[in-house]
Amino acid sequence: MKHQRRILLLHAAQLAAAGALGGAGVACARVPDAAYPFSLGVASGSPLPDSVILWTRILADPLNAAATLPVAVSVRWEVAEDEAFRRLAAKGSATALPALAHSVHVDVKGLQPGRWYWYRFMLGEAVSPVGRTRTAPAPGEMPALLKLAVASCQHWEFGSYAAHRHIAAAAPDLVAFVGDYIYEWGPYRLSHPLKPVRSDESLTLAQYRARYAQYKSDRDLQAAHQAAPWIVTWDDHEVANDYTSDVDPRGSPGFLARRAAAYQAFYEHMPLRLPALTDYAKLSITQRYDWGALARFHVLDDRQYRAHHACNTSSVSRSACPELDDPARTMLGGDQEAWLAQGLKNSKARWNVIVQQTLMASTGRDKVWTDGWDGYPAARSRLFETLAASNAANPVVVSGDVHSFFASDLRRDVKRPVSRTNPIVAAEFCGTSVTSSSRPQPRTQAMVDANPHILYGRSDHRGFILMALTPAGTSASFIGLDDVHNAASGSATLAAFKVDAGRAGIEKL
């Protein structure tokens, strides 16, 4: 297995040391007897027609990494065709290395396309929770339905993860997480009363790891991971608030070293394939997934390669900052722009889903929030031209970051009004946060009222999007929680929309 081999090469010296310790290559289980080593649950993701990544992390105590000894351990894994594990499809063992926080990434190969599997890990007597996952359909296959959940922004201190319980209950085929899986910063005055855990800001690898472990200790989040494979990208808070490529807004020295630590911790806790580049400072998470002939997912990273904020500020009046319109300013970077253009151009999929972080629809305001796509107007126009020129079928953008639901028709020329001569290049469904707070609804409604291309906006509920992609159409339901502070909260569909295949434009259902 290529991926496992790469890990072994990366950490050959450490493995040699472990071999000297354990004799048979790695030491056996060394977690304390009483401690359950799968306290963070399991996950799967990055599905291909014949392969999926299985994930776990050996950690005896989510809030105390020192409770797990710093030695390599050998973890067994099984993949079965049935929940009772009577028909095994694959099994093996993997090495959990201290250098990777005892995370385990198994790239299981040789699976059948388009079917569900169950998986688990074993260490000594301990057996992990059972996760359910699936492979992508075979190339060219046209599945009747793909149920996709879209989630983002789960600030621990702002509420429960009830949204994840509802995602698990919806039994999606796939979950797309579009950023702010953790929030890196320090003490917060608006603490969710039941769950104050830490007050430090994540700056080092150990601190980022501790934060992922804390977040992943939540049972509802674990349930959503156990329900389906995930595809993931990051936003700013996986590293630092509103950072742009190699700087944070505070201009902190040593930022690239901090970013490398944050990127490594992200990899360690996500069901991702390790790309060819193993320098974590430049970890590439740009990915593409085909779901048979039904959908192609273009998963973007709009943080690592973007230009710095225009006029070096977070908010500026358009007229006061001509730099905003500088065509040299990029959001995706030249390589990723070219990669996306190519992937759209050669796509044969019925739906082209652009999975990315930030609201793409123009908010039409003179006062520009420079961190969003409004702060990168030339890059956005280039993307819209690329979409139009590619002839890729039925583009749909999914987004997060703004902690609000929005449904928008993205039109080719942002500056021109809604009209027949200004064609729609994509539908955008932006999801609200799992927990993170937002602004009052009247301000959101005022933005909707001022922008005819924005059909709907809702900032007064936390939740997620549940989409159904079929050959004939795609629907998106905006699911809102009744009360984010209540882990047992119910949820309701606040609004639902559809796009018919072959006809651009969102309709409210």
Whose Cβ is closer to Fe ion: residue 146's or residue 178's?
178
CB of 275 to Ca ion, least distance (A): 23
Whose Cβ is closer to Fe ion: residue 436's or residue 477's?
436
| Residue 44 contact, options Ca ion, Fe ion, none, Cβ 5-8 Å cut-off depending on partner type | none
State yes or no: residue 427 binds Fe ion (CB under 5 A): no
Site string for Ca ion, 85-124 (x = CB under 5 A): ----------------------------------------
Q: Quick one: three-class SS letters along 90-147?
A: EEEEEEECHHHCCEEEEEECCCCCCCEEEEEEEECCEECCCEEEECCCCCCCCCCCEE
**Site of tokens 């911790």:** 265
| Residue 409 contact, options Ca ion, Fe ion, none, Cβ 5-8 Å cut-off depending on partner type | none
Task: Give me the residues paired with residue 134 across strands.
Answer: 116
Count the residues of the shown chain that bind Fe ion, applying the rule CB under 5 A. Answer: 3
Whose Cβ is closer to Ca ion: residue 438's or residue 491's?
438
Site string for Ca ion, 176-205 (x = CB under 5 A): ----x-------------------------
CB of 398 to Ca ion, least distance (A): 15
| Residue 236 contact, options Fe ion, Ca ion, none, Cβ 5-8 Å cut-off depending on partner type | Ca ion
| Residue 337 contact, options Ca ion, Fe ion, none, Cβ 5-8 Å cut-off depending on partner type | none
Query: 303-342: which residues touch Fe ion (CB under 5 A)?
Result: none
Inter-residue contact 186 to 240 (CB < 8 Å) = no
| Residue 436 contact, options Ca ion, Fe ion, none, Cβ 5-8 Å cut-off depending on partner type | Fe ion
CB of 357 to Fe ion, least distance (A): 9
State yes or no: residue 401 binds Ca ion (CB under 5 A): yes
Query: 230-249: which residues touch Ca ion (CB under 5 A)?
Result: 235-236
Question: How large is the C-alpha radius of gyration of the chain?
Answer: 22
CB of 183 to Fe ion, least distance (A): 7
DSSP codes, 425-471: EEEEEE---SS-----HHHHHHHHHH-TTEEEEE-S--EEEEEEE-S
Site string for Ca ion, 127-166 (x = CB under 5 A): ----------------------------------------
**Cα-Cα-Cα-Cα dihedral of 52, 282, 324, 395, to 10°?**
-20
| Residue 371 contact, options Fe ion, Ca ion, none, Cβ 5-8 Å cut-off depending on partner type | none
For residue 84, give both structure tokens.
Answer: 């009772």
Task: Give me the residues paired with residue 456 across strands.
Answer: 407
Q: 55-79: buried (b, 16+ CB within 10 Å) or exposed (e) per residue?
A: bbbbbbbbeebeebeebbbbbebbb
Inter-residue contact 269 to 57 (CB < 8 Å) = yes
**Site of tokens 């192609």:** 296
- Provide the 3-class DSSP secondary structure of residue 256: helix
Query: 135-194: which residues touch Fe ion (CB under 5 A)?
Result: 153, 180
State yes or no: residue 436 binds Fe ion (CB under 5 A): yes
Q: Give Cα separations from 21 to 65, 74, 75, 199, 448 (angstroms).
A: 21, 13, 16, 37, 63
105 φ, ψ to 5°?
-125, 115
CB of 241 to Ca ion, least distance (A): 8
| Residue 15 contact, options Fe ion, Ca ion, none, Cβ 5-8 Å cut-off depending on partner type | none
Residues that bind Fe ion (CB under 5 A): 153, 180, 436
Name the residues that contact Ca ion, by CB under 5 A.
Answer: 180, 235-236, 401
